[in-house]
Amino acid sequence: MKILDLAVISAALIMHISKKSLTRGSNMTTIEKPQEVTHTEYIGRGVPRRDGLAKATGTAKYTFDITLPDLVYGTIVSATIPRGRVAAVDHRRAAALPGVLLVLSSENQEPTPARKAGGKPYIWFNREISYDGQDVAFVVATTQQIADEAARLVAVTYAEEPAVTTMRAAMQPAAPSVKADGTANVEFVTSDDDAAHERGDIQAGLDAAQVVLTVHYDMPMQTHNPWEAHVTVATWQGDDLTVYDSVQYPIGARRTIADALGIAPEQVRVIAEHVGGAFGAKLSTKSQAPLAALAARQLGRPVRARLTREQMNRNARYRPATLHEIRIGADLAGHLTALAHDVWSSGSVNGEYYERGAITTQFLYACPNLASKHYRVRYNQQPPGSMRAPGEMQNQFALETALDEMAAALGMDPIELRRINHTDIHPISGKPFSRKPLQELLARGAEMIGWQDRALPPGSRRDGPRWRGIGCAVAFYPLWRQPAKATISIGADGRATVKSSTVDLGTGTYTVMAQVAADGLGAHLDDIIMELGDTDLPQAPIAGGSMTVPSVAPAIYAAGQDARAKLIAAALALPDNPFGELGADYLTTVGGNVCASADPTRALSFAAIVQAAGEDITGTAEYKPQNDEYEAGNFGAHFAEVEVDVQTGYVTVTRFVAVHDSGRVLNANTFRSQLYGGIIWGISNALLEETRVDARRGRVLNPNLTDYLVPTALDVGQIEVAWLSEPDDNAGPLGIKSVGEVGITGTAPAIGNAIYNATGVRLRRLPFRPQYVLPELIASGITAD
């Protein structure tokens, strides 16, 4: 290939290039409708993880790895009562410990006034205690060990009040109100338009049904336990603050920290280069971040603060416990005539979060008479929050188990029941789904698992005390998207720097975004430099809700296309360029060169063009989601094969099969890994995870990775995943959707349904631990042969 070097370009000719077409100040490309992918040299390939070597060798910098001169360390002091008031905080013993620099509490730290009219002040330490583990003080010392010891020396005196510490206790009619205004603990949620939905006539549908079931499902609290703790390093430069934080949304963290300190967000920079797992735990800014910034300002030196593992379990949000009641009716042919789904979700005294555990029920299947309601149950527990596939995970366990129960009552194949009630039209909006290939997914999954070999009747596949069965469930997660911006700048060396404030949580964002940028620009993948996780970079949405790829990738691809167009324009503006009379429509970019589409030997390198321009060439783009024609979502078919030891109640998942449709796959390796991760966590949900709380004191009893059980390699059997590889062009730009959370949603019900197939016993409470399974087996009269 003939590449023209800068040496053959006269410097005098550079003035012919319009600098307006090269600079960041040019008009930003805005995309709203689907984009056509014109080049896929890298998109779809399973290229290795860009951050893999750095993480394997320990050179990737997480927040905990940040060290600064004169760094000091902070520890939070947690409340030890579930309800009451802080009467006094005695700092004296803690402050007297050598090395202690600062002790903060409600005794010496006033709330920060609201920055804007109508806003709320930021309360650093609330004297009103509403849950065990609430922040009551903060200690800073020269070492972490001294700070931890000083925290134990802070003496807090409480005026304790009677507490309501469990969800079921709060739901009792005689339970005292946990709210200061005396309102009921159980609240019907009306704050969201879709929290309550009704169509048709539920009672008429139940009356018309030939089979009616009323079933209840119980799912416990679960706690985020990412390997990396919540940690922050804060340092000031004059009136400006830099915060290194383990967070999913740097821009949101900037706002929270600024509000807490009473300063403008523009004064705060938040950096999250690598995040060691999050799963919703780090969507919101935890208290250690503003406390570190406050202490750093008062001390004039950088401060690191972190939550301990125990504090992460007591005061860092959790997946709420949910109770479900489903009433379902069908005719003998399997057509659903009525479906009512009510959900009660555990909540805190003052928070507004509730788990949207019946939303998917509203539209996943065809049913003319449907109702769903959500209730928030307030009691003295830490505020709940989002945890991987919030709402959808619980929704699918309840809904897909209820469908399996209906299939059993009808004597029908569970897959056939789902086929009969399939709909390609969203029942609420009336719009078609962009693509909903559930029939294909279920058929392929059934073939892979050997569906024909399931126990018929249930409980008939036995090998002594080990009974085997197969179950299925549908997985679903919505397609969320938000506006995003991106820039791609090509430097004099021909390399391209991609900038976005989005965060890589360990999911492969650095890798897949580099692939998208390389194809959008027409560059070598090795020539792409990624800069992510910094509020100084172009704005991106929260790295949650599986929205990073469908939001940020279109912006990056469009920025690459914008830069590509500018490179072509710059090349054509050069006298004596190799393209003769060819216009822009006859040129393309490949491998870091602008070249003639019909003759790639007529080429000019990116480096030569940029050097001739005398400044970087930058493409910019903003993605604004807009799709008024279709409803889009991510679908999967999950199949579990289990073995139940009827002597012990121990359940083993021997094999798991998942077939998914999530649109265009950007990287086969990361896509597969995301599905594996979701399924493994789903197995954990089904068999192990449960946050246990002392009903007397409201304290989490298993706040560590010794007692909070998560799966090891020996707990997970063989996993097989497959997917449809076609882009879903009706869903949005590039035909991509998402895969981060959908994998968890169908796993627990598939396992529960497989346990039923193995034993003939229906389990309606998670997790399926031996101590819960064995009594159900015994009550059903099951013993080993």
Residue 22 reports pLDDT greater than 80: no
pLDDT (average), residues 301-319: 96
Residue 14 reports pLDDT greater than 70: no
Strands 587-590, 718-724: pairing kind: unpaired
What is the DSSP code (8-state) at residue 622? E
Coil, helix or strand for 328? strand
pLDDT score recorded for residue 40: 78
Residue 623 reports pLDDT greater than 80: yes
pLDDT score recorded for residue 16: 30
Pull the structure tokens for residue 767: 């997790």
**β-strand partners of 141:** 73, 100
Quickly state the pLDDT bin for 628 (edges 50, 70, 90).
confident
Helix, strand, coil shares of the chain, percent, nearest 5, are 30, 25, 45
What is the DSSP code (8-state) at residue 425? B
Pull the structure tokens for residue 272: 């999250």
Task: Please list the alpha-helical segments (H only) found in 22-129.
Answer: 52-57, 92-96
User: Structure pTM?
Assistant: 0.94
pLDDT digits (tens, 9 = 90+) for 426-442: 999 999 999 999 999 99
pLDDT score recorded for residue 163: 97
Pull the structure tokens for residue 758: 């193995």
Share of the chain above pLDDT 70, in %: 95
Q: Can you say how many angstroms the Cα of residue 625 is from the centroid of all Cα atoms in its chain?
A: 19
Whether 774 contacts 780, CB under 8 Å: no
Pull the structure tokens for residue 178: 């946990």
pLDDT score recorded for residue 30: 72
Residue 399 CA to residue 387 CA, distance in Å, equals: 19
pLDDT (average), residues 590-607: 96
Residue 295 CA to residue 17 CA, distance in Å, equals: 52
Coil, helix or strand for 288? helix
Residue 238 CA to residue 261 CA, distance in Å, equals: 14
Question: Would the CA dihedral through 573, 574, 578, 581 be positive or negative?
Answer: positive
Strands 528-531, 496-499: pairing kind: parallel
Q: Which residues of 451-482 are buried (b: 16+ CB within 10 A; e: fewer)?
A: beebbeebbebbeeebbbbbbbbbbbbbbbbb
Looking at 16-20, 126-130, 150-154, 160-164, which range is the least confident one? 16-20
pLDDT (average), residues 642-652: 97
Residue 31, Cβ density class (10 Å: 0-12 exposed, 13-18 middle, ≥19 buried) = buried
pLDDT digits (tens, 9 = 90+) for 105-150: 999 999 999 988 888 999 999 999 999 999 999 999 999 999 999 9
Residue 333, Cβ density class (10 Å: 0-12 exposed, 13-18 middle, ≥19 buried) = exposed
pLDDT score recorded for residue 136: 98
Task: Please list the alpha-helical segments (H only) found in 143-287.
Answer: 144-153, 167-171, 202-208, 250-261
Among 640, 457, 475, 490, smallest CA distance to 564 is for 490
Pull the structure tokens for residue 386: 């989002």
**pLDDT mean across residues, the chain:** 94
Quickly state the pLDDT bin for 304 (edges 50, 70, 90).
very high
Whether 243 contacts 710, CB under 8 Å: no
Quickly state the pLDDT bin for 38 (edges 50, 70, 90).
low
pLDDT digits (tens, 9 = 90+) for 695-719: 999 999 999 999 999 999 989 999 9
Contacts of 157 (CB under 8 A, 6+ apart): 86, 87, 88, 89, 90
Residue 389 CA to residue 279 CA, distance in Å, equals: 9
Residue 647 CA to residue 777 CA, distance in Å, equals: 9
Which of 7 and 181 is assigned the larger pLDDT?
Answer: 181
Residue 772 reports pLDDT greater than 80: yes
Whether 376 contacts 195, CB under 8 Å: no
pLDDT score recorded for residue 25: 34
Question: Would the CA dihedral through 530, 533, 537, 538 be positive or negative?
Answer: positive
Residue 642 CA to residue 460 CA, distance in Å, equals: 13
Among 109, 94, 66, 463, smallest CA distance to 275 is for 66
pLDDT (average), residues 642-648: 97
pLDDT digits (tens, 9 = 90+) for 536-573: 999 999 999 999 999 999 999 999 999 999 999 999 99
- Identify the top-confidence range among 39-48, 102-111, 622-631: 102-111
Share of the chain above pLDDT 90, in %: 91
Residue 9 reports pLDDT greater than 50: no
Tell me how far CA of residue 495 lies from CA of 554, 621, 653, in angstroms.
Answer: 21, 19, 48
Residue 17 reports pLDDT greater than 50: no
pLDDT score recorded for residue 577: 94
Contacts of 117 (CB under 8 A, 6+ apart): none
pLDDT score recorded for residue 586: 96
pLDDT digits (tens, 9 = 90+) for 402-417: 999 999 999 999 999 9
Residue carrying structure tokens 């409708």: 33
Residue 15 CA to residue 20 CA, distance in Å, equals: 12
Whether 484 contacts 551, CB under 8 Å: yes
Whether 658 contacts 639, CB under 8 Å: yes
pLDDT digits (tens, 9 = 90+) for 528-537: 999 999 999 9
Q: What are phi and psi of 17, to 5 degrees?
A: -85, 130
Strands 462-463, 370-378: pairing kind: unpaired
pLDDT score recorded for residue 36: 64
Pull the structure tokens for residue 154: 């802070």
Q: What are phi and psi of 554, to 5 degrees?
A: -60, -35
Whether 313 contacts 691, CB under 8 Å: yes
Residue carrying structure tokens 């009562």: 81
Residue 518, Cβ density class (10 Å: 0-12 exposed, 13-18 middle, ≥19 buried) = buried
